[in-house]
Amino acid sequence: MEIQLEGQLFSSVSADAVVTYVFGDKEARFEGTVAELDRALGGKIKPLADSGEVSGKPLEMILLHYPAGVAAKRLLLVGAGKPEKFSHAELRKIAGAALRYLKSRGVKTFAFLPAEKDRTPAAAQAIVEGLLHADYESDKYQTQKKNNKGIDRVSLLGFPAASRAEIEAAVERAKIIGESENFARDLINEPSNRLTPRMLASRAEAMAKDSGLEIDILDEKRIAELKMGALLGVAQGSDEPPRMIVVRYRPAQKKTGAPILALVGKAVTFDTGGISIKPAANMEEMKTDMSGGATMLAALRALARLKPSIEVMAVVPATENMPGGRAQKPGDVQIAMSGKSIEVINTDAEGRLILADAITYAKKLGATHLIDAATLTGAIVVALANVHVGAFGTPREFLDRVLESARATGEKMWPMPIDDEYEEMIKSKIADIRNTGSGKGGGAITAAWFLKEFAEDTPWVHLDIAGTAWRDDAKPWSASGPTGVATRTLVDFAMKM
């Protein structure tokens, strides 16, 4: 899909459709852009509003065919809701919803005309990110795709010529981020027989080569030499050997004493639960248990092109969790790379085990700040459903900076507690710690506390994306399937750091 800035007036653009949005507030509904369109159409829009057909409700779609006064074949009015609740997050959804609505109707080209106040670089970035997210489909392995419908070109209208260089830079930035987010979604969408740990390592290697990044892939021999007992314990039940993937971006001119950010992502390419086996229902979705790792690789792909002034690495432990004859068992004790002993209570609490060694290794490689992302717990889904990412971290100031990037990029994240009282719940009677909490609740928090045991005093944030990495049902602005959640937040944070 081609996305371009267009200097023409909306009335003269030759496209299959022109798109803009209408607010729900009666006074704001016919100001600015919509008022211009109404005049161009000879007052045809206002009567529709007076009759209630155009209400401005969020993502309401009103499609007018062959509107007189406009060269385009269609005019699409998208509801934008109340002006006081409108943000760039809503603008992303509007752009995405418009694309999916028009694509389903065979439209090949359209022009997007934002409201006058939204003709800024930040708004242009939000629009393009929304378009690229919406254009993704999860139908790679369908041999008979529906009518081969797709958008060929989108033109952005109305942006001031005086700001063209800034707008073009914002559009390019959005393309990098959106394409990288979709790179993560491609990985997450792969069936586990087509994305084993070794295959994921190969995909990461190809991405790194294409992006000009350094990469080091640790095989099972090097993992054993480094005494990564927590990772090896999870991997030992599978015939597929584990991998530890390290991708590094280094700025051309690194400042002395500058922070080194490590993005640590869980990549269990398939999770049966091991000996503590999962129920059969919906187990096929466990191919997505590598979403955290995919997100971190995607973030590095984007950062290689955006070039932040700090060093950033992705550390991705990759394995399967299988119930083979050599699989670890409940009650086993594993020794992590850090030297801590771990009593394995539940083999389905494996993500925190592999992250423990990855966090330790990231620190060994020089990381001064840590952010991990993982489809870690069902408990976070109980707490936050599929709306927010659960965000934990210390110190609080570091967590707040990550949450600020989440707000800036329209990704919903909610701060979760990590009080000292929860630490007692992961104490073991025969080892240093246990891999599940001893209490009846707080499963997402005790999992975070487990990781904190390995982050120690290093500034650290943990993102539990279990409820948000995969979408069972399509939304108007997004296909069902992988979401690539946290990619935008991590890129924004690294660029600002």
And the tokens for 155? 């033109």
pLDDT of residue 326: 97
Q: DSSP string of 143-171?
A: SS-STT----EEEE----GGGHHHHHHHH
- Tell me the residue length of the chain: 497
The answer to whether 414 touches 384, Cβ cutoff 8 Å, is yes
C-alpha distances in Å from residue 291, one per residue of 164, 464, 484: 36, 11, 8
Q: Which domains does the chain have, with CATH numbers?
A: 2-156 (3.40.220.10), 176-496 (3.40.630.10)
Of 121, 311, 295, 352, give the one whose Cα is nearest residue 213: 311
Q: How far is CA 461 from CA 27, 337, 374, 379, in A?
A: 44, 20, 11, 18
At 341-355, the pLDDT tens digits run 999 999 999 999 999
- The rounded average pLDDT for each run of 10 residues, N- to C-terminus, in the chain (497 residues) is 91 93 78 84 85 90 92 95 94 98 96 95 98 96 80 96 95 98 98 98 98 98 98 98 98 90 98 98 97 98 97 98 97 98 98 98 98 98 98 98 98 97 97 94 97 98 98 96 98 97
Predicted confidence at residue 229, as pLDDT, reads 98
Give the pLDDT of residue 345. 98
* Residue-level pLDDT at 387: 97
Burial grade of 165 (CB within 10 A; 0-12, 13-18, 19 or more): exposed
Whole-number Å distance between alpha carbons of 271 and 350: 9
CB atoms closer than 10 angstroms to residue 439:
14
What secondary structure does DSSP assign to 448-466, as a single string?
HHHHHHHHTTS-EEEEE-T
Q: Which residues are known catalytic residues?
A: 278, 352
What does the pLDDT read at residue 468? Answer: 98
Cβ–Cβ < 8 Å for 271, 354: no
